Structure 1
Amino acid sequence: MFGIEWLKPSVFGGSILYALVGVLVFWICFVIVDKLTPYDLWAEIVEKRNTALAIVVAAMCLAIGLIVAAAIH
């Protein structure tokens, strides 16, 4: 019965709640970083196809995701 533990409503609901909180915190952090930069990150990456900036933003997203996951865990 060890594999079925996560199907309990309280465990499943808690997991969904923590996932939503994590996504919300991640989104807020990304918006803050976007506002701190002197240009629009999305336009720079998508319209101007700035690969170097895309790599930096991806690394930042991974770092924020790791921090949020560690804080929730």
Structure 2
Amino acid sequence: MDPIITIQLSEVIGTIFYTFLGVLLMGLCWWLINKMTHFSVVKEIEEDQNTALAVLIGSVFLSLAIIISSVILSS
């Protein structure tokens, strides 16, 4: 017999809410990074090929994702 998989509506709504919250926090972090630097981050990464800055920005977003996911799992 196949087990019946049940999906609760509250779990779906919670997942959608936390997804949008995480994306919003990532966007806010990107906006803050752009406002706090005195140079164009996108220009440095794309045109000037600044690999160190790209790695730094990537690690910031990865650490934010880990923090957001741990907060979601703790609730």
**Fold shared per TM-score above 0.5:** yes
Structure 1 unaligned runs (5+)? Answer: none
TM-score normalised to structure 1 length: 0.81
* Identity level (%): 31
CA distance in 2, matches of 1:4, 1:22: 27
CA distance in 1, matches of 2:69, 2:31: 18
Q: What is the total number of aligned residue pairs between the two structures?
A: 71
TM-score normalised to structure 2 length: 0.79
CA distance in 1, matches of 2:70, 2:28: 17
Q: Counterpart of 1:48 in structure 2: which amino acid?
A: D
Structure with more contact order per residue of length (Cα contacts < 8 Å, sep ≥ 6) = 1
Q: Counterpart of 2:47 in structure 1: which amino acid?
A: E
Q: Counterpart of 1:72 in structure 2: which amino acid?
A: I
Q: Counterpart of 1:65 in structure 2: which amino acid?
A: A
Structure 2 unaligned runs (5+)? Answer: none
Which entry has the higher C-alpha Rg, 1 or 2? 2
